[in-house]
Amino acid sequence: MSKSSKTRTLTVDVLARVEGEGSLQIRIRNGQLAGVQFKIFEPPRLFEAFLRGRKFTEAPDLTARICGICPIAYQMSAAHAMEQACGVTVDGPLRALRRLIYCGEWIESHVLHVFLLHAPDFLGYESALHMARDHGPLVQRALALKQVGNALVTVLGGREIHPINVRVGGFYKLPHPDQLRALADRLKWARDQAIEAVRFTAGLPFPDFEQDYEFVALRHPTEYPMNEGRLVSNKGLDISIDQFEDHFVEEQVPYSTALHAVRKARGSYMVGPLARYNLNFDRLSPLAQQVAREAGLGPVCRNPFRSIMVRAVETVYACDEALRLIETYELPDRPFVEVTPRAAVGYGCTEAPRGILYHRYRIDEHGVILDARLVPPTAQNQKTIEADLWQFIPPRLDLPDDKLIWQCEQAIRNYDPCISCATHAVRIELIRE
């Protein structure tokens, strides 16, 4: 088939089990891989433009609408950026509550990806619903685990999608310590389930595929990173978040409505669970470290297919951390810190489930946004996804088209791409020439 000098064209119109719409074009000429284009055709929604002229207090609720899967990430990056611009620091129990709501988002987002979007690839099912016919209890437990993450977000945020309780300066209303303690038993159950999930994912068949990535993530002096830290990499990067634009640039490519981010003078880089894990293994709780080691994951993992295990480990950590935060929670005096606007530029960079989410705003003395810049995780991973496929496909060129396409989809889903974010499903086109 592929030995002839003809063009072979294979098309998958919509890449499934990803958030948003995207496609992949693979061109094979005379049996050689000739081109890979990871395209995003999600319609542009132009958030950076309409944020101009809005009030600084609106940014958390407006930018949350970029992504229904990780709205907390947008609310956190926006709130931190605005507080930095206005010279306010939110600390103590309010800071702890922000970490707690982020734990909830990590749990629900990671469990969604591990079980509903990615595991079916490893086990050869079209979807988790197909998988449920043979693995009913597994899918039921996964849904119940996901629900615990959503319960945490709902108690603190009011609802799981586009929560309403997060504001610049803190929260509108504080949860009573009893409300949070009431979640402790469910979180303990969830932590046990997450440990089971690590063991389950450890048993999945992983292709032998390791790359020498530049991992980029936040690093905090004492914590596994969520809301704060310096931006570091395994190739010498160590900057404060306000230096992001000195080191990273976004390029526009004609075939995609998402901008491709690259590290200046270096090229592609990876953000997300694998990057966080490799750069912050020592900051995981002892339990999460132990579970990872027992499952055969060392402090370093360069196989993106194993990111499914890392997501499960991070889920263990998020449950563990949520329990710690709930145990030590004391009702703060006030639900929020008063934030008075001033003419300034503010930066926010937090660890969304899929990796660092950078926000930069310039506001005037009345708190009106003059300009905004948002760099979501999937935009940063796009180039690395393409680079992976350049390495992944050549040894697999003899596979039948449907198998090759499915394996490429799986390789893309390693990144849990959120295309709604990046432009703010993916279509695969395989061309054999």
Partner 1 sequence: MPKVAQPKLAVWKFASCDGCQLSLLDCEEELLAVADRVQIAYFPEASRAVVKGPYDLSLVEGSITTPHDAERIHQVRRVSKRLVTIGACATAGGIQALRNFAQLKDFAALVYPSPAYLATLNKSTPIADHVFVDFELRGCPISKHQLLEVITAFLHGRKPNVPPDSVCTECKRAGLVCVMVARGVPCFGPVTHAGCGALCPAYDRGCYGCFGPKETPNTSALARAWAELGVSGPDLVRAFRTFNAYAEPFRRESIAHEQV
- Site residues (vs partner 1, CB under 8 A): 14-21, 42-50, 52, 54-55, 58, 61-62, 65-69, 71, 112, 116-117, 126-130, 132, 136, 139-140, 143-144, 146-147, 150, 158-162, 164-165, 172-173, 252, 254, 257, 259, 335, 371, 406, 409, 418, 420, 425
| Closer by beta carbon to partner 1, 292 or else 369 | 369
Distances from the Cα of 245 to the Cα of 105, 346, 358, angstroms: 27, 13, 10
- By three-state DSSP, how is residue 40 classified? strand
Q: Closest separation between CB of residue 351 and partner 1, Å?
A: 20
Minimum Å gap between C-beta 293 and partner 1 is 31
Q: 167 or 302: whose CB is closer to partner 1?
A: 167
CB atoms within 10 A of CB 43: 10
Give the burial string for 281-316 (b: 16+ CB within 10 Å, else e).
Answer: bebbbeebbebbeebebeeebebbbbbbbbbbbbbb
Nearer to partner 1, 355 or 376 (CB): 376
By C-beta, is 234 or 257 nearer to partner 1? 257
Nearer to partner 1, 140 or 290 (CB): 140
| Residue 266 beta carbon to partner 1: minimum distance, rounded to whole angstroms | 21
CA–CA distance, 414 with 391 (Å, rounded to integer): 15
- Unique residue bearing structure tokens 């950078």: 358
Structure tokens at 377: 């995780």
What CA–CA distances, in Å, run from 351 to 14, 213, 239, 381?
A: 28, 18, 16, 14
Toward partner 1, which CB reaches closer, 55 or 266?
A: 55
Q: Note the Cα 84 to chain centre separation in Å.
A: 23
- Cβ proximity to partner 1, 274 vs 419, nearer residue: 419
Cβ atoms < 10 Å from Cβ of 367:
20
Nearer to partner 1, 61 or 214 (CB): 61
Q: What b/e string do you get for 55-80 counting C-beta neighbours within 10 Å, with b at 16 or more?
A: ebbebbbbbbebbebbbbbbbbbbbb
β-pair partners for 320: none
Q: How far is the CB of 215 from partner 1 (least distance, A)?
A: 26
* Least CB distance to partner 1 at residue 303 (A): 23
Report in angstroms how near the CB of residue 238 gets to partner 1 at its nearest: 29
Per DSSP, what are the bridge partners of residue 11?
Answer: 429
8 A C-beta contact, residue 170 and residue 93: no
What 3-state class would DSSP assign to 227? coil
CB of 372 to partner 1, least distance (A): 9
The least distance separating partner 1 from the CB of residue 292, rounded to whole angstroms, comes to: 26
Q: Provide the minimum distance between the beta carbon of 35 and partner 1 in the complex, in angstroms, as a whole number.
A: 18
Angle subtended at Cα 345 by Cα 71 and Cα 218, rounded to the nearest 5 degrees: 50
